Structures are given as structure tokens and as C-alpha cells.
Structure 1
Amino acid sequence: MAKIALGTAGEARQPDVIQALIVEFIVTFLFVFAGVGSAITTDKLGSNALVSLFVVAIAHALVVAVTVSAGHISGGHLNPAVTLGLLFGGKISLVRSILYWIDQLLASAAASALLYYLTGGMSIPVHTLASGVGYTQGIIWEIVLTFSLLFVVYATMVDPKKGSLDGLGPILVGFVVGANILAGGPFSGASMNPARSFGPAMVSGNWTDHWVYWVGPLIGGGLAGFIYENFFIVRSYVPLPIVETSF
């Protein structure tokens, strides 16, 4: 059974960790900029609901595939739920996870603030539950969608038995993000990512239902990491080297 690697406070000063944090900030910034930007664009152009949903799903699928690939130095998490799933699978230390979470939130806030400025103060779309969707339903939506995301991350990028899928992980992760937005977008917003929800909420000042986008994704991501590591990856536990990257 995988164990959580605690790490040390000194990790924050190690050159490779600093480099990873810089890369993680950049790719998370670019992900949120493109993702939120696509939502702003559909509002500006006045597309119908189905076209808007499709555009946002495709934009997120493409930018996830590209930024995960580009963020290989940090692992390209882009998402506190992904980081938590890897923490529960013993792939990243607790100390580095905390640094990543701070990094991801700051990047999301910066990207959202820049979009607000560049669009002349246009409204920044936030994740909220659709009419008729209760808190329990929204949380379950986010648990299931984020679980599927982390399961794919593990199966295509972490599992040493990924075989022919080796190298295709970022594209396949992008596919599942796009598919999940098409499935859950009209109901919970299909965030799957507390950082993706945080930046727009902070810049807009609209925190409606925001807690749902922490509880659901973190439960789903943590469960997927724990289950995949302990039931599908069979190997003896080796303590995580402090300086290793996630993937």
C-alpha cells in the first residue's frame, strides 16, 4: 500500500523544486487563460447554449493536452485535485503538494485578472450549480468527473504498465476533460479543478456555490489516486525521493 511522503521544509529552496514551481505556474496560467477566455468568448459572441458548451469543451481539451505536455518538468498538474490524487498515491510529497496548490491558485488568479483587464472589464464566468441542481448532486457530479480524470491520469501517465499508451497521456487526459465538460457542464459546470474555479471567483467576487468545487474534486481526485495506486499498481513501496517530479 502506498504511503504519503511528507517531505521536508527544505524542498522549497531546492533549485529543481523552484524550477518545477515556475513551470507549474506558467502552464496553469496558460490553461486558465485559455479555458476562461473561451467561456468569455462564447458570451461575447452570443452563441447558443449547445455551441457554447462544445466550444468550451474543445478549448479545455486542447489546452489541457498541450499544457500537460509542456509542463513535463513539474508534471503539469494544473489542478489541486490532480496533485492530491498523486499525493494519495505516494507520487509527490506533502510539502511539494502544498507548494503546488499555492502556485496553482496564484496562477489562476493572475490569469483571470489579466483576462478581466484585456477584455475591458467583461464579466468573468464562474462555476455555479445549474438551476435545479442541489449541493449533494453538484458534489457527486464533481466527484465522479474528477475521479474519471485522475483515473485516466494514472492509467495513461503514472502506471508503469501503460504499454502502448506511453506518450499519449496528455492527449487522452485532454479528451476526458472535454468529454466530462460535455457531460457535466450543464449541471455542475464540470470544474474538476478547484484552481480553475478559484481565479474567476476571486476576480469577479462571486463565490456562489464555490465550496462545491473544492469538496467534490478533492474527494474524487483523492479517491482515484488511492484506489488506482493500491489496487492496480502492484509493487513494493519505495520512499519518494524529495527531488523527483510527479510523472
Structure 2
Amino acid sequence: MPPRRYAFGRADEATHPDSMRATLAEFFSTCIFVFAGEGSVLALDKMHKDTSTTPARLVMIALAHGLSLFSAVASSINVSGGHLNPAVTFGALVGGRITLIRAVYYWVAQLLGSIVACLLLLVAAGMRPAGFYVASGVGELRGLLLEIVLTYGLVYTVYATAIDPKRGSLGTIAPLAIGLIFSANILVGGPFDGGAMNPAGAFGPALVGWRWNNHWIYWVGPLIGGGLAGLIYEYMVIPAEPPHHTHQPLAPEDY
């Protein structure tokens, strides 16, 4: 992981092969994640006419999302960092761990990956993506707060296991930890607002299924939560990075 710095990005970064590879990794991995996650919802709708939230249905959806996110992050973490989520990318951006150019590339790739996944589901399954919405009686403000808290927990976990320079061998379990916290958060937020925690994951189903109810909270909430997690972990948890010396220190015998 590069040292903390805030930068727009080098002039050659926009066309550098590493940027292209990382962007493609974000696109394909996001597509894999959304296809399996949203597809699990459609599969349950196909098997059962009753689409109300039941404990078994909630557990199955949470498990499908967690397993698919685990696999998608593991397949891209060595190339792009395994963000798959505009909120994660935003957290890394405000923490100075990614340039603005790379962040914009990731955002475009994540949104396109989600859209393509939902289009594939529409063609293959013949069903409109269900998308996300706030449950009756919950209210948009409560849904917004829930998305902030859930996404904070997700991005904090990403920082601790995948971004923190001091993570050491903990980085080997980053995909598993990220998948587990995502599943756990769906078990909490699913009955209330679906537990999106991902603007791209909410945008694809909303666009392809044309379901825009309460959609704004799935952008504002995750971006606030992800940004807060990035700032808090970066400046309150990660130790201050030592200054970069431009000279060689003196040998002990020269003191």
C-alpha cells in the first residue's frame, strides 16, 4: 500500500496499463458480485410466490451476498485492491490511499459492472431486478442512518484488513472478513432497508428494473459512512507515518 498522499494523479495514469487492468478487475468483480447477490433474490422470488421477508429468506440472501463478495474481492484484491463499491473507493480517497483519477475509473467500472450484471439477469432469468427500498413504517431518515452505520462497519473492516499498512499477515483473510461483515450487516439491515451498503449495487437494479423508490439514501448513506470510516481509521487508528528522510543517517560510531 502506498503512503498516504492526496493527489489528482499523474498525467500518464489515465492511460497506464496498471490503471486499465485495475479498472477491468473492478468491472468484472463487481459484475460477479451483483449477479450472484441480486440473482439470489430473484431465485427466491421464482421458487416462492410469497416475497415477504422471512428469517430463512434473509439468511439465504445474506449468505449469497457474503459468499459472492468474498469471491469477488479475493479475485481482484491483488490487482485493484478489491473495492467493488463506490463507498469503499471514496473512503480510500478521503484517506489519501488512492488518486482522484483512479477513484473515478473505479466508480465508472463499478457502476457499469452492476448494470451489466442486472442486464444479464434480466435476459437470463426474465425477471426485473428487485432493487432496494425502505420497508413500510421505517422512514427514509432511519434508512439513511442505517446505511451510514452499516457502511461504516464495512469500510472500517476493509481498512483494517486490506488497506492498513500495519495489517501484516491479517491481509490474507481480508476477503473473508469483508464477506462476513457484509453478510452480518444484511442480517441487521435487510428487514429495514435491504442493507445495500453499496451505491453501485443499488444503482444497477434500480436502473434495469426501473425501481427508484428511496434511491437517494443508497448513495448518500454509504458515501457518508465510507468517508467517515476512511477518515477515522486513517487519522485515529493508523499511526502517524514517519517522515521520509532525504539523507542517510550517521553510523553509530559517528555520534
TM-score (norm 1): 0.92
Q: Does 1:211 align with 2:213?
A: no
How far is 1:161 from its partner? 2.7
Q: Does 1:22 align with 2:28?
A: no
Q: Percent identity?
A: 49
Ranked by relative contact order (alpha carbons within 8 Å, sequence separation 6 or more), the top structure is 1
2:174 corresponds to: 169
1:159 corresponds to: 164
1:178-189 correspondence to structure 2 within 5 Å: 178-189=183-194
How far is 1:157 from its partner? 1.5
**2:5/2:97 contact within 8 Å kept:** no
CA distance in 1, matches of 2:187, 2:143: 15
RMSD, aligned CA: 1.8
How far is 1:25 from its partner? 0.6
How far is 1:166 from its partner? 3.0
Q: Does 1:229 align with 2:231?
A: no
Give 1 or 2 for the bigger CA radius of gyration. Answer: 2
CA distance in 2, matches of 1:157, 1:14: 23
- 1:146–1:238 Cα change, 3 Å: farther
Partner amino acid, structure 2, of 1:82: V
Partner amino acid, structure 1, of 2:232: I
CA distance in 1, matches of 2:94, 2:146: 21
2:82 corresponds to: 76
TM-score (norm 2): 0.89
CA distance in 1, matches of 2:157, 2:94: 16
CA distance in 2, matches of 1:132, 1:89: 36
1:145 corresponds to: 150
How many aligned positions are there?
A: 238
**1:3/1:88 contact within 8 Å kept:** no
Unaligned runs of 5+ in 2: 245-255
- 1:177–1:161 Cα change, 3 Å: same
Moved more, 80-89 or 4-13: 4-13
Unaligned runs of 5+ in 1: 240-247
How far is 1:235 from its partner? 2.7
